[in-house]
């Protein structure tokens, strides 16, 4: 939600917000069979994308909503911003890989100054987590913005499986000649290049990806076709 702070330091009273959400959303949906609970789901199936849109429609008359984020489970969620059938669907996956951050030809002292411990000669590993967000138009009949199975398989085939248990500097041609250092940023850009066209072929647009190298280090890269990278900042 968005709005101006009142004299008490609040946009809205939190108790009132919780009451509205409970009355309009959580109470009717909790422990329900979604296909039957609301008439909107008789017309369009209750996919994650469509549920997010209908929740927006149910709450918008009561609250100053700018975004609905609905998690189906920790590795799948949808974001809706009130723009017709446009929806953002996100998937999370993971893989393990090792790398060394060092510029070829540079001295050990110079690489140590640039990359610190990450320049140590035998490399180090990470349990990477990858979040991929695509933008699509939800179909009025199926409730889908993209074929979820095809998108999941695409990410597995192009990223998770090829990179899993590799040493990036040696096993991945993009980094193997040393011209591109496999930093989190360069790695994220490479993954974007691997996914962007195949996602477009599925009928969606790569909005962004987030590569999480460790709990304290992550990088976000937006798709090359993204003109408004932060739709949540636009009140529609």
Among residues 49, 99, 207, 213, which one is catalytic?
213
Among residues 50, 99, 118, 190, which one is catalytic?
118
- Element of type H or E holding 92: strand 86-99
Nearest C-alpha neighbor of 99 from the set 174, 158, 160: 174
Residue with tokens 């939600």: 1
Whether 118 is catalytic is yes
Give residues with Cβ within 8 angstroms of 36, minimum separation 6: 42
Give residues with Cβ within 8 angstroms of 26, minimum separation 6: none
Among residues 19, 124, 165, 185, which one is catalytic?
165
Calculate the alpha carbon distances from 45 to 52, 113, 138, 142, 236 in Å: 12, 55, 11, 6, 25
- Active site members: 118, 165, 213
């Amino acid at each position: 939600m968005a709005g101006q702070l009142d004299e008490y330091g609040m946009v809205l009273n939190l108790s009132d917000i919780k009451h509205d959400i409970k009355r309009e959303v959580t109470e009717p949906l909790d422990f329900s069979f979604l296909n039957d609970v609301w008439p909107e789901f008789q017309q369009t199936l209750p996919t994650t994308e469509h549920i997010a849109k209908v929740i927006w429609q149910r709450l918008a008359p009561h609250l100053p909503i700018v975004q609905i984020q609905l998690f189906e489970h920790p590795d799948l969620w949808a974001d809706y911003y009130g723009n017709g059938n446009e929806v953002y669907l996100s998937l999370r996956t993971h893989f393990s890989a090792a790398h060394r951050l060092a510029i070829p030809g540079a001295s050990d002292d110079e690489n140590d100054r640039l990359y610190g411990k990450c320049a140590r000669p035998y490399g180090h590993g990470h349990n990477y987590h990858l979040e991929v967000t695509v933008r699509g138009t939800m179909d009025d009949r199926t409730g889908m913005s993209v074929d979820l199975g095809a998108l999941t398989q695409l990410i597995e085939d192009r990223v998770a499986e090829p990179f899993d248990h590799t040493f990036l500097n040696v096993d991945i041609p993009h980094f193997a000649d040393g011209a591109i250092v496999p930093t989190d940023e360069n790695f994220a850009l490479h993954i974007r290049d691997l996914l962007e066209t195949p996602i477009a072929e599925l009928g969606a647009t790569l909005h962004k990806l987030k590569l999480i190298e460790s709990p304290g280090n992550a990088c976000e890269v937006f798709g090359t076709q993204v003109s408004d990278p932060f739709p949540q900042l636009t009140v529609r």
